[in-house]
A and B are shown apart, each in its own frame.
Chain A
Amino acid sequence: MDLTKKQTRLKRWEGWKSSSLAFQAQPFYFLLPAIILLGLFLFLPALLTIYYAFTDYYLLTPDQRQFVGLRNFTQIFGDPVFLRSLQNITIFVVGIIIFQVGMSLGLALLINKQRRGNIFLKVAFFSPVVMSLVVISVLWLYLLNPTDGLVNSMLQAVGINAQPFLTSPNQAIYAIILVSVWQGAGYQMLIFLAGLQNIPGDVYEAARIDGAGKWKSFLHVTIPLLRPTTTLIVFTTLIAAFKLIIQPMIMTQGGPLNSTMTPIYYIYQTGFTDRLVGYSSAMTVVFGLLIVIVTFVQRRFAKEDL
């Protein structure tokens, strides 16, 4: 390297150092912890998962992993359990969107009306939210017990036959939807309530003067003005619902007959319990990609609201 080149380089370095003030190096220090942690536990695993998906990585023998091309991918699309899990999660997501969003909006409308004792209602509706998913899963496992469960004894008290709930391949996923709606609705109720209270009273007044009844003003004032809130709630609920795992893991172990097996639970089982990291990574890539696509589609649809 000749001298002039070296000198200009040195000059440039000096200039960069002085022009950048004393603080120039500091953003790096402030960012460093976050960069390391996000890199190590989010960015790197995301990239590695894509790489593992093309290998036969077995958890106990990481050094012997070999490139297998698209074998994992062709295999998962012929895997009846994985396909079943995709079907189950579709039922769950649709059920959650309809019932949880509907329920939370209904509850918010109820609470929004002035009446004595409202605070008790609010506390009651919100109370399941403070329990963790593990707690509610174990609790409902006992409540929904087909023979000694409180729910069946209450149903029988009003003349309805005892139901199998979690032990039936036809009912289990719906029982899990019910429990999840029960747990989550109170939280979204509060967000809807905040949205409702942001609607100025004179808009309703104007609608009333124009001759709109209660139903009409709900349809033409409340619903449109609540749209940004609704979009936000549907958006977050949908993505969260895709990641269902704890409830089936504790309540049904994915059964009976895989009727409550979910993609994330199956990924966990194949990757961790069966130690087939390569195979489970391929499912992660496919299912992760599905979630990312849904996110993008939603953002496109919701652009004006978010």
Chain B
Amino acid sequence: MKNVKKLVEYVLLTLLAFFFIFPLLWMVSSSMKSEESIYQDLNSVQALLPSFQITEWLSTYTELFSRFDIGTYLFNSVFYALLVTAGAIVVNAMAGYAFAKFHFKGKNIMFSLLLAMLIIPVETIIITQFTIIHNLGLVDNRLAVIIPLIANAFFIYLFRNFFIAVPDSVIESAKMEGAGHWTIFWRIMLPMSKPAVATVGTLAFIGSWNDYIWPLMILTDSDKYPLQVAITSINATEPVFINQVMAILTISTIPLIIVYIVAQKYLLQGLSSSGSGQK
């Protein structure tokens, strides 16, 4: 009786796991077969398996690379994401340091203002953000993809909380040695806050990698497209081959899998900023 119960439990759990994983399996395996076999396999288990001929596995990818400039899109995505990540760490950590370790006039007011900014739903003001980029003459400029994503009130808050925990005596003794705030910031504060740096870095990287609407609005030249925008443009370029679409989906997912594996322990700390993944 106990065994039967256990068996039922395992069957149900497997079904549940299947519900979560089958789209991913179908995506990857459909990218590794011809378009006709995708349709032929729809009614059998083979839908979730790649082609039985290993030589066919990469042919979709070679076709995709010869039709589209995938290398450029990949480079663009990596380029944007790395610059956003570096910028987000430095700019927000600097502001966080100022709020944590300096005493200056208006600090409390500025900090309340910062917390109030957390409430502004950024997604609603993209049109006005676009008019600003337009006035700055940055439409279709790579810079415009990057700079709006750098400063982030939540990241500043996160860094500030981390820096406050660093004892003042550490800073005092560094000052005695003749170090300025700039040196203290780079040599002591940042290296002592590796978890905060990793959390902000990971969230900024993923945020930039997944960004879609903003680059879609400001870029007109397809050579500057990041992968996310390239996906929908490939999916709209006739003739559309399902296996090639699945291949570009797979390509754009692989880097994120790596990021999630490397940085998994830092992701939970970012909950309050990224929410449910609806972003």
Chain A contacts to B: CB under 8 angstroms: 23-24, 26-28, 30-31, 33-35, 37-38, 40-46, 48-49, 52, 59, 62, 96, 100, 110, 120-121, 124-125, 127-136, 138-140, 142-143, 148, 150, 153, 156-157, 180, 182-184, 186-188, 190-191, 194, 232, 236-237, 239-246, 249-250, 264, 267-268, 271-272, 277, 280-281, 284, 287-288, 291-292, 295
Contact = CB atoms under 8 A, between A and B. Distances in A.
B278 A240 contact: yes
A144 to B, nearest CB: 10
Given A34-B91, A150-B47, A153-B43, A284 B127 contact: yes
A12 to B, nearest CB: 14
A41 B212 contact: no
Interface in B260-279: 260, 267-268, 271-272, 274-279
Q: Categorize the interface residue count of chain B.
A: 35 or more
Interface in B219-255: 228, 231-232, 235, 242, 245-246, 249, 252-253
Given A34-B94, A128-B23, A132-B209, A295 B119 contact: yes
A177 B87 CA distance: 35
B122 A42 contact: yes
A23 B13 contact: no
Contacts of B268: 190-191, 194
B128 A52 contact: yes
Interface in B14-31: 16-24, 26-27
A121 B17 contact: yes
B277 A43 contact: no
Interface stretch (B56-64, B149-157, B191-199): B149-157
A283 to B, nearest CB: 9
A237 B102 CA distance: 35
Nearest to A183: B277
Interface string B114-137: 100101111111111111100000
Interface of B: 13, 16-24, 26-27, 39, 42-43, 47, 90-92, 94-95, 97-98, 102, 104, 107, 110, 114, 117, 119-132, 147-148, 150-151, 153, 156, 181, 185, 209-210, 212-213, 217, 228, 231-232, 235, 242, 245-246, 249, 252-253, 256-257, 260, 267-268, 271-272, 274-279
A246 B127 contact: no
Contacts, number: 241
Nearest to B107: A27
A237 B217 contact: no
Contacts of A292: 119-121
Contacts of B125: 42, 45-46, 49, 284, 288
| Chain A interface SS verdict (over half) | helix
Given A186-B20, A190-B268, A277-B127, A240 B119 contact: no
Nearest to A128: B20
A143 to B, nearest CB: 6
Contacts of A62: 131
Contact of A267 (B27, B110, B127, B212): B127
Most buried by B among A49, A180, A191: A49
